[in-house]
Amino acid sequence: MPIAVYVLGLSVFALGTSEFMLSGLLQPVARDMGVTIPTAGLLISAFAIGMVVGAPLLAAATLRLPRRTTLIALLAVFGLGQVAGAVAPSYGVLFASRVVSALACAGFWAVGAAVAVSLVPVNARARAMAVMVGGLSVANVVGVPAGAFLGQNAGWRAAFWAVAGLSVLGLIGVIALVPRTEVPTGDDRPRLRGELSIYRDRQVWLALVTTALSGGAVFCLFSYLGPLLTDVAGLDEGWVPTVLALFGVGALIGTAVGGRIADAHLFGTMYGGITASTVVLSVLALTAHSPVAAVGLALLLGFTAFFTAPALNARMFNVANAAPTLAGATTTSAFNIGNTVGPWLGGLVIDAGWGYPAVAWTGAALAGAGIVTTALAARLHRAEGASRVIATGHTGQATTPAREATSGASR
């Protein structure tokens, strides 16, 4: 595996830490900025909105640009966004910095995936992507809890400075170790019009909705996990980083297990994972006042959420096989639509005075809707034929949608 792929994984570690660390910093940010916790939670939605817009937009805009130069520019913008967040004098500036950082993050994901795949043979693409996604998994296990710990002990702004430092390391690595790659020409040249044609397929839209519902169900609760643990379960704030780390451990295990099963049992993995998330969220709503239950169910939620992700990715690559560039960007957007709507709905529930356990019920309702859309997708799949192969290498070995997408598990 080329070292450049590991450099991309390091960069993704910084991106992922920034994306999710706010869930452990909501209380200090809300106190410092003089806003409510639901308002602070909108900072998570702001990042998700930037990802929703940025993934397809920047994937299309950079389709024919030199990829290494694009990566350098996007990572530099992301780092500057972290600095802007660290020195933000007001909530509005902090909000804007999150949107800008998210746009750069989304573009880096789209272009970085293409670079990672281009650096290895066809039969090593999944492993290359697994290294990149591994950066996100490690961010959930290490980066997010560390950001929460740093924010609680040195101020939330210190967490932003730390991510800015990680961005500088990633930038140096990309400049020094990622080789220049030529933009494909001739018959291999990317054609935006051809890739956009996938959006005429109802199965693509159904896959997008299912992915958004699954993501929204989890992040509706995850975004307010810190306040739930302290205000409802009665844990000290110092426990929040530990529980976030447990969520990350569950996510890492879920990704590994779901990735192995999704190849052979695509819809079974989707049914099983989304149903399990529904059950976990419902039980958490009923037992949120128990510290032991809240901690254990947080770990299980990480497992069930990321167990489903490989199959959700696989389904999108399956139905959007004519547009591999936009397929990945569309999956990223779909997850982040859920990451936007989920925290927003959770905030509405809290503002209505229904309490944090009701947020878990809201997540369970979203997951239940995801089960329904999965059933509709399975019905269309049976009616319109089996999955198609999306890539065939010169060696004659085919890469199936499930295997290709398994590497993008956390996205």
Confidence of residue 304 (pLDDT cuts 50, 70, 90): very high
What is the model's pLDDT at position 81? 93
What is the model's pLDDT at position 133? 67
What would the pLDDT profile of 2-23 be if each residue is shown by its tens digit? Answer: 888 888 888 888 888 888 788 7
Q: Which CATH architecture has domain 1-180?
A: Up-down Bundle (1.20)
Class of domain 197-384: mainly alpha
What would the pLDDT profile of 345-368 be if each residue is shown by its tens digit? Answer: 998 998 888 888 999 999 999 999
Confidence of residue 190 (pLDDT cuts 50, 70, 90): low
Q: Cα angle at 390 between 384 and 395, to 5 degrees?
A: 140
Over 60: is that where the pLDDT of 232 sits? yes
Over 50: is that where the pLDDT of 386 sits? no
What is the model's pLDDT at position 373? 93
Same fold, 1-180 and 197-384: yes
**In the structure, how many helices (H) and strands (E) does the chain have?**
17, 2
Cβ atoms of 23 and 144 within 8 Å: the answer is yes
Poorest-pLDDT segment among 51-60, 174-183, 359-368, 399-408: 399-408
Q: What ranges in 87-141 are assigned the alpha helix state H?
A: 91-118, 125-138
Dihedral Cα 241, 244, 248, 250, nearest 10 deg: 130
CA 88/CA 332 separation, integer angstroms: 27
CA 329/CA 340 separation, integer angstroms: 16
Mean pLDDT to the nearest integer, 118-135 = 66
CA 205/CA 203 separation, integer angstroms: 5
Enumerate residues 6+ apart whose C-beta is below 8 A from 300: 250, 276, 280
Over 50: is that where the pLDDT of 390 sits? no
Mean pLDDT to the nearest integer, 372-394 = 65
Token pair recorded at residue 144: 């997010």
Task: Indicate the pTM of the whole model.
Answer: 0.72
What is the model's pLDDT at position 396? 32
Over 50: is that where the pLDDT of 392 sits? no
Confidence of residue 128 (pLDDT cuts 50, 70, 90): low
Mean pLDDT to the nearest integer, 193-220 = 85
What would the pLDDT profile of 64-121 be if each residue is shown by its tens digit? Answer: 777 888 899 999 999 999 999 999 999 999 999 999 999 998 888 877 777 777 787 7
Q: Which amino acid is at 134?
A: G
CA 369/CA 338 separation, integer angstroms: 12
Confidence of residue 60 (pLDDT cuts 50, 70, 90): confident
Query: What Cα–Cα distance (Å) separates residue 161 from each residue in 10, 84, 154, 332?
Result: 17, 9, 11, 26
CA 411/CA 22 separation, integer angstroms: 18
CA 219/CA 139 separation, integer angstroms: 16
Name the packing angle between helices 3-20 and 125-138 (round to 10°).
40
Domain residue extents for the chain: 1-180, 197-384
Confidence of residue 388 (pLDDT cuts 50, 70, 90): very low
Residue with tokens 């569309």: 330
Over 70: is that where the pLDDT of 407 sits? no
